[in-house]
Amino acid sequence: MRSSLAAVFLMGLLGAALARAGTAPRIAAYYDGGMPVAAIPAERLDTILYAFGEPDARDLCSAPTAAQRRTFRQLRRLRQRHPRLHLLVSIGGWDAAPQYSDLALTAASRARFARSCIRLFIERQRFDGLDIDWEFPVQGGMNKSRREDRADATALLRELRARLDALGRTTHRHYLLTAAIPAGTWQKGGAYSVSDSYDLASIVPYVDWLNVMTYDMNTIFSPMSGFNTPLRPDPRDPTPEPERSRDNLSGAVRYFEAHGVPADKIMLGVPFYGRGFTGVSPRRAGLYSHYSGGFAETPWKTIESRMLTNPEWTRHWSATAQAPWLYDARRHVFFTYDDPRSIALKADFARRERLRGVMIWVLGEDDAHNSLLNALVSHLEPDQRQP
């Protein structure tokens, strides 16, 4: 009898685990208002992360504006039509979170912040969870920072996890907690390692997954022009080691896994935009060149409709990096971006490496036919989209 009960108990645990696995999100997308909520292709997404909520100077989450509350109502109606869709609010961003270092500094400030965010966004606005986008603890970003940030980032996520779980015991559900984490080694101030900012292994127990920003591998902080999201390292790249080995998707994933992040907690970031460099050398059509300035970040829909149709831009493809680029010989501009072919290869990589899935920055930048999203979906088939 005892063994029979044990078997039933174990089968119940297995069933619960399989149920959780079956509903685990695999395509997450940030939404910043760049398209109407009604136009979001929600049937192809597992998670929408609203960007952004903001911390304020009182160690609290800023209350949503009237316009944000209208958007939240629209998102909730969208979730009603697509019951498997999860809604998270992302708090922070590159230049919108100057208070993080202060609010994470003490146990009291972390508790105030956690209570505030949960009350405003989980209890009142009925989001399914929170995403913490602190760019970046200790160094690498544009906001206030201090040495204690690295440990405080873990403590903040631990506090949020504990309070979300406490609420979940009351409401009989699980609330999601995720974090947006950088991957590129060129940030403000020069060469950078994500481990300078985060103790990756220590935050894993508190998050459902990490939204790994495996884009912006080369920006105006880089010493030379290069790919935004190369899939693999290019031996022709003159970038010094270890940056060359890490500034690509496969290298970044290996780094995160080597530092304690399991594959099933990694969401591979893909961009629906490109960026460029001006004043580049014609050698290699502007690739791996010193440059004089940056070329504006441009959404895929504009790249497709205006740049790929303009004969002044010549398209090139890197068999090593598995990524395209454009070169304007007249203006000496190098432009790096993703297209359906390179996005499909990234989806193949995520599936092959058994990652949790793919994260998109940002909804509203795809073309009218959703070419980039379609490439993702077609290479993450439903029967393969299990964690």
In a domain, 301, yes or no: no
- CATH number, domain of 161, equals 3.20.20.80
Per-residue three-class SS string for 182-225: ECCCEECCEECCHHHHCCHHHHHHHCCEEEEECCCCCCCCCCCC
Note down the domain range covering 199: 24-271+338-384
Side chain identity at residue 253, one-letter code = V
In a domain, 293, yes or no: no
Residue 20, judged by CB atoms within 10 A of its CB (0-12, 13-18, 19+), counts as exposed
Catalytic residue of the set 135, 159, 304, 365: 135
In a domain, 174, yes or no: yes
Is the pTM for the entire model greater than 0.75? Answer: yes
> Between the CA atoms of 128, 129, 135 and 136, what dihedral angle is there, to the nearest 10 degrees?
-160
User: Do 202 and 156 meet the contact criterion of CB atoms below 8 Å apart?
Assistant: no
Q: How many domains does the chain have?
A: 1
User: Helix 107-117 and helix 149-171: axis angle, to 10°?
Assistant: 40
* Distance in angstroms (rounded) separating the CA atoms of residues 321 and 329: 22
DSSP class of 181? E
Write out the chain's pLDDT in tens, 387 residues: 333 334 333 333 333 333 334 433 399 999 999 999 999 999 999 999 999 999 988 889 999 999 999 999 999 999 999 999 999 999 999 986 678 999 999 999 999 999 999 999 999 999 999 999 999 999 999 889 999 999 999 999 999 999 999 999 999 999 999 999 999 999 999 999 999 999 999 999 999 999 999 999 999 999 999 999 999 999 999 999 999 999 999 999 999 999 999 999 999 999 999 999 999 999 999 999 999 999 999 999 999 999 999 999 999 999 999 999 999 999 999 999 999 999 999 999 999 999 999 999 999 999 999 999 999 999 987 554 443
Asked if 135 is an active-site residue, the reply is: yes
Q: Which residues, 6+ apart, have CB-to-CB distance to 70 below 8 Å?
A: none
Nearest to 43 by CA among 79, 73, 72: 79
In a domain, 190, yes or no: yes
